[in-house]
Amino acid sequence: MLARKEPSNILIVDDEPFICQILARYLTTEGYFCRTASGGEEALEVLESDKFHLVLMDVMMPGISGIDLLNLIRPLDPDMAVLMVTVLDDKDAETLCAKLGAYAYIIKPFERNEILINVANALERRRLAIRGKENTGRQASRTQPMTLKRRPTKISTKEIVDLIKSGIDDASLMERFNLSAKALRSLVDQLVAARVLTQSALNGRRALSPHSVLKDTGQSQFPWIEEMPVISGTDAAKCIKSGMQDSSLMKRYGISAKGLQSLFEQLVASGIIQQSELDIRVSETHDWWAVIDE
């Protein structure tokens, strides 16, 4: 029997009842607490009501696939370990799952010991990752003022999709849902990946140029595009250092969330501002959010 320091809650997600049953039998005999879901939709409902240490799920499922689900559940609990189990022996799919945060990609048919070893390893990696974050947080608290821990912002999928299709600009979306530019871009990417929002809907929405030109760097990357907004790098750096929020920066310079990220990158590349100054800038927006289907 594999040794563990504490009982762990595991959610098993597969559209084949037999697979759910056999995985649950493997794990419960080792002392894990297991719950099953027959697909991505049911899994999201379960994850909103209960906390799990690990999710073990199939890649190929009707409706919300395992990759779609991996995209959607990450914001709910960034520390949760995820293992993918699939008949799809595809290196590209395996690489994508790893980039999205999956700890392992297990090919069916699997052996009992293979499952148990991967689960134990994933839970141990999760435990070490959490400990590392706690140690980093304690070190940072010695040099930075204490701040209140924010609760995740819950966003209705239908509400934000309807607003995007209506043509609302990025700055207004960020203010409405209290998001940073980075969080908004991540949210939109996940909505597209989950197939609840099409790229054509994004292409038609009201958002200005995704690039910006710094007029005082002497090295414009796009001098041939006259309609692109021209921004003073010195002015932008001053606003960022003053703690101006992302939405206010976007309104000031008439750029989208993608444009703001491009502006940040050009400021750092030009040496006008340091990456560390961007990392520690004050922002009152939420970086964590959860999409809910209401």
Residues 6+ apart with CB under 8 A from 210: 255, 256, 258, 259, 262
- Residue ranges of domains in the chain, CATH in brackets: 9-139 (3.40.50.2300), 155-294 (no CATH)
Start-to-end CA distance of the chain, whole Å, equals 43
pLDDT tens digits for the chain (294 residues)? 444 446 789 999 999 999 999 999 999 999 999 999 999 999 999 988 889 999 999 999 988 889 888 888 877 788 899 999 988 888 888 888 888 889 899 998 889 999 999 999 999 988 888 888 777 766 655 555 544 444 455 677 778 778 877 777 777 777 777 777 777 777 777 777 777 777 776 765 443 343 444 555 444 444 433 445 567 788 888 888 777 777 778 888 777 777 777 788 888 877 788 877 777 654 444 444 555 554
Q: CA 172 to CA 26: how far, in whole Å?
A: 49
CA triple 14-187-267, angle to 5 deg: 140
Neighbours of 107 (CB within 10 A): 14
Q: Beta strands of the chain (E only): which ranges?
A: 9-13, 33-37, 54-58, 81-86, 104-107, 153-156, 213-214, 230-231, 289-292
Q: Scan for tokens 């040496």, then name that residue.
A: 271
